[in-house]
Structure 1
Amino acid sequence: MKQYKAYFIDLDGTVYRGKDHIPEAKAFIESLKAKGIPHLFVTNNSSRTQKKTVEKLKEHGIEAKEEQVLTPSIAAANYINQQQKNADVFMIGEEGVKDALENKGITITDYEPDYVVVGIDRHNSYQKIKEACLMIQNGAQFVATNPDIRVPTEEGFVPGNGAYVNLIKQVTQKEPIILGKPERLMIDVALNEIGVKPEEAVMVGDNYNTDIRAGINAGLDTLHVQTGVTSKEDLKEVDIQPTYTVETLAEWEV
């Protein structure tokens, strides 16, 4: 197996499943630390702040720093700030989206926004979705943190942000700008953070349609782990295979 200078690691389904531990993931990350190999957690979970993500990792026995966490909420806030200073945003989302937007000085509003940002919101409502649809039809730019249709938890699969994004897309007939995986933006940010070339890093994840495709889109090798969304059987249906696939991360030697 090739030796990589950096690892970009998904969280849900790769490092943990909801409240359930994935023991092999903890040992894998400890091996990276022991060998001094840089690694970032590149997650499509928009609901948590960097701080809350670090706390979540700690619950699973994994120590990390806030700067090791990249979220699609941060990517969305960066994108909007680059496109338009002092933008007004209507937000569907939780603390992670709100914190990322406010940290960039972006105003959250319910009235004539420049952008509608849609992240996972477990207190979503028909009213919020209705308002988002109307605002997008009235000219607001449609931005989605991530396209995940379903998310693995300890109870089973539950709706992800992509389910709501697709609903709004169908109503408005507008394509969203997607900042999370499988788009390459977060991977490009990760490469820049570590200071490595695409061929020197590997993307690790359970979901072919987000994690693995993000790596492929950014020119990275990919390591698929069969502990979450995409099974080994599912991979038989895709044209471009991950570079590697393992049942658990215990099979991988860093």
Structure 2
Amino acid sequence: MTERRETECWLTDMDGVLVHEGQALRGAAEFLQRLVDRERRFLVLTNNSIFTPRDLSARLARSGLLVPEEAIWTSALATATFLADQAPGASCYVIGEAGLTTALHEAGFVMTDTDPDYVVLGETRTYSFEAITRAVRLVGAGARFIATNPDATGPSAEGPLPATGAIAAMITRATGAEPYFVGKPNPMMFRSAMNRIDAHSETTTMVGDRMDTDIVAGIEAGLQTVLVLSGSTRRDQVERFPFRPSMLLESIADLVEHV
């Protein structure tokens, strides 16, 4: 890593860093335990807005990884936090599942399909043509358009599924309105996460598996960055990008000694 102050706080991506298809990756449990032993503040980040932190904590526990729900930061929570800063108490038409609706409800938003201030789009496994049509009409009528994350596809056992970014593109094509994406690679998500744990960019490190989301957003947020090769980005792809991580490692197991 470049010469900076010692890392006091850690942000880490979930899929491709700690877990893969429900299985803990090598070194993940040891890394998390080292953070606890050294009393380092940390958050596990995910662009997935389907699940609540409680759901994700339970799913990680089934993989053998103990992460309390308060240590999980989702694009849904980041979106709710962003909207609470922008327009507290606004009304929203929401396409999404419990992770998003719960976050917005707890942030004090009213959810309605009648003249909302915002259309908020998140991840769901059951996109309906009726809901998308309603969103198109509401955005066309003047509702501001927000989306949790720009990921065009998501993984499944059968292959890729259309995700938030793909559905957002449909609404944009129909209305001409571009959404504001809150999740990665928007560094806004990292800044809201750091605010959550009272972290400072000079002493925070982001660990991720994707150059085009985790690493670029970490750099733009002023963080040290670690790319692990256990997920999406391969070693031969790193050179194609005009930016570099602070550190390149095979897996999270190689990072334990640096905590």
TM-score normalised by structure 1 residue count: 0.92
Instruction: Report deviation, 1:126.
Output: 1.8
The SS at the match of 1:227 is coil
* 1:14–1:200 distance in 2 versus 1, CA, 3 Å: same
For the pair 1:35 / 2:38, whether they are aligned, the reply is yes
Task: Provide structure 2 residue ranges, at least 5 long, that are not aligned to the other structure.
Answer: none
For the pair 1:199 / 2:202, whether they are aligned, the reply is yes
| 1:230-245 correspondence to structure 2 within 5 Å | 230-245=233-248
* 1:208–1:188 distance in 2 versus 1, CA, 3 Å: same
Give the Cα separation in 1 of the matches to 2:97 and 2:77.
Answer: 13
Contact 1:12/1:152 (8 A) holds in 2? no
Per the alignment, residue 81 of structure 1 pairs with: 84
Per the alignment, residue 64 of structure 1 pairs with: 67
The SS at the match of 2:27 is helix
Contact 1:113/1:135 (8 A) holds in 2? yes
Contact 1:17/1:152 (8 A) holds in 2? no
Give the Cα separation in 2 of the matches to 1:145 and 1:78.
Answer: 11
Per the alignment, residue 131 of structure 1 pairs with: 134
The SS at the match of 1:147 is coil
Contact 2:238/2:244 (8 A) holds in 1? yes
The CA RMSD measured in Å over matched residues stands at 1.9
Task: Provide structure 1 residue ranges, at least 5 long, that are not aligned to the other structure.
Answer: none
Per the alignment, residue 182 of structure 2 pairs with: 179
* Identity level (%): 35
Deviations 1:195-215 (A, max 9, x none): 332121111111222211221
* 1:237–1:167 distance in 2 versus 1, CA, 3 Å: farther
Give the Cα separation in 2 of the matches to 1:36 and 1:155.
Answer: 40
For the pair 1:149 / 2:128, whether they are aligned, the reply is no
Contact 2:78/2:193 (8 A) holds in 1? no
The one-letter code matched in structure 2 to 1:60 is S
The one-letter code matched in structure 1 to 2:131 is K
TM-score normalised by structure 2 residue count: 0.90
The SS at the match of 1:127 is helix
Instruction: Report deviation, 1:71.
Output: 1.4
Deviations 1:91-147 (A, max 9, x none): 111100110111122111122211010100100022222221221111001001111
Per the alignment, residue 4 of structure 1 pairs with: 7
Give the Cα separation in 1 of the matches to 2:219 and 2:171.
Answer: 27
Give the Cα separation in 1 of the matches to 2:154 and 2:237.
Answer: 16
